[in-house]
Structure 1
Amino acid sequence: MIRSVLRTASTTLIVLGALTTAALANDFAPQISKEVAEKIRPWLSDPAVVDAVKAQNAKTGGLSDADIDKLDKQWRAEAKGGGGPLVNEVTGNALSSFLKGKKEASGGLYSEIFVMDAKGLNVGTSDVTSDYMQGDEGKWQKTYPVGPDAVFIDDVEFDESSKAFQSQVSTTVVDPATGKPIGAITIGINVEKL
């Protein structure tokens, strides 16, 4: 009897938690969309972003799925180990410096920023991500392949590292010369700062 009551209470808490999270995502979507339109999109056409994505697309365009899996495994091992050639190459490039500057200038609103190429691979990051290949996740699948105006706002979740509630917003990176998608960007938004 006690186990049954505990199970029911536990299930109720899980359902309530899920409903609260979904409500939070919906509550902040208009403010997040405004942030993307007014503050983020304008700097996505900066040559620091566009040139880096185009250069990486030229470099990674011919990679096979096996090549990408190998790179992703390498990244994951290096990320857990505190760095290595692949992680250091990405986090030390000019685009990553640009993104770190945008994060710092946000006054804590942006908890992380990373840009992906046409395959969903990291081009630049403000912080080390857990994986290199984002192409199997909604942040890439619901932006780059969808088109130039795509925006994907994920649920609000509590982020242990920043000790804050955040939502990841992703949008397509477009070549301003052609209007065509070339990659995507994800920004962690601290909703408590909106």
Structure 2
Amino acid sequence: MKRTAVALLLALAATTANAADIATLAHDYVETRIPLWSAMPVLVAAVQASNSAHANLDEAAILALDAAWRAEIGQALQPTIKPILTNDAASALRAIVQQAGGTIAEIIVMDNRGLNVAAAEATSDFWQGDEAKFTATYPLGAGALHQGEVDFDESSQLFTIQISFTLADASGTPIGAMMVAINAETLD
């Protein structure tokens, strides 16, 4: 662990809120906002469009898209990444992050295959379908919520806790998932 990570961990441990308190605060923060975020027409429409566009992809095609995404990170040309970061849903996610004033470190919306639909910032990969943020939400149906542990995120250099939930359409049918990484250092 890097020296800064150790220092942050010690600082976090020294706060009045312990890990259980942080987990509860993060859960409550996200849970109270799920109805608002889930009802955003721009997010629902983007997920539904992605579901249609990706309906016929097989595993090889998904893995190829994921490999293309990973190869584009840090490159000037990003034909796979750019559409996910510049669509209207991504703009809505960036507005959510900005309104959160530092409480939200990362936010991603995924389709029913676990592929990124929109993200506030570039993620390390395109396919989330093999990760708990997706496997512990969308496949379990509407109302599913998954909460990870407080962990040090190398990309943001913050202690975060990921909370994911199933996104459903107006009829309650699951259409995708959303992951919100809460900056644990802002919760006390």
TM range (shorter): 0.7 to 0.9
Are the counterparts in 1 of residues 23 and 161 from structure 2 also a CA contact under 8 Å?
no
Counterpart check, 1:180 vs 2:173? yes
TM-score (ref. length: structure 1): 0.83
How far, CA to CA, are the matches of 2:144 and 2:76 in structure 1?
34
Counterpart check, 1:109 vs 2:103? yes
TM-score (ref. length: structure 2): 0.86
Within-5 A mapping of 1:46-85:
46-85=40-79
The percent of aligned pairs where both chains have the same amino acid is 40
Cα distance, 1:102–1:83 mapped onto 2, change above 3 Å: farther
Cα distance, 1:122–1:83 mapped onto 2, change above 3 Å: farther
The one-letter amino acid of 1:183's match is G
| The structure with more radius of gyration | 1
The one-letter amino acid of 2:153's match is D
Q: 2:182 maps to which residue?
A: 189
How far, CA to CA, are the matches of 1:59 and 1:25 in structure 2?
40
Q: 1:121 maps to which residue?
A: 115
Q: 1:170 maps to which residue?
A: 164
Moved more, 78-87 or 99-108: 78-87
- RMSD between aligned residues: 1.8
How far, CA to CA, are the matches of 2:131 and 2:153 in structure 1?
18
Query: Number of residue pairs matched?
Result: 173
Q: CA deviation at 1:37?
A: 2.1
Within-5 A mapping of 1:20-39:
25-39=19-33
How far, CA to CA, are the matches of 1:146 and 1:24 in structure 2?
30
Unaligned runs of 5+ in 1: 1-16
Are the counterparts in 2 of residues 25 and 167 from structure 1 also a CA contact under 8 Å?
no
Unaligned runs of 5+ in 2: 1-9
The one-letter amino acid of 2:129's match is G
How far, CA to CA, are the matches of 1:167 and 1:30 in structure 2?
11
Cα distance, 1:60–1:50 mapped onto 2, change above 3 Å: same
Higher relative contact order (CA 8 A, sep 6+): 2
How far, CA to CA, are the matches of 1:54 and 1:74 in structure 2?
23
Counterpart check, 1:96 vs 2:93? no
How far, CA to CA, are the matches of 1:158 and 1:82 in structure 2?
28
How far, CA to CA, are the matches of 1:54 and 1:25 in structure 2?
36
Are the counterparts in 2 of residues 24 and 156 from structure 1 also a CA contact under 8 Å?
no
Runs (4+) of structure 1 exceeding 6 A deviation are: none
Q: 2:3 maps to which residue?
A: none
How far, CA to CA, are the matches of 1:155 and 1:183 in structure 2?
22
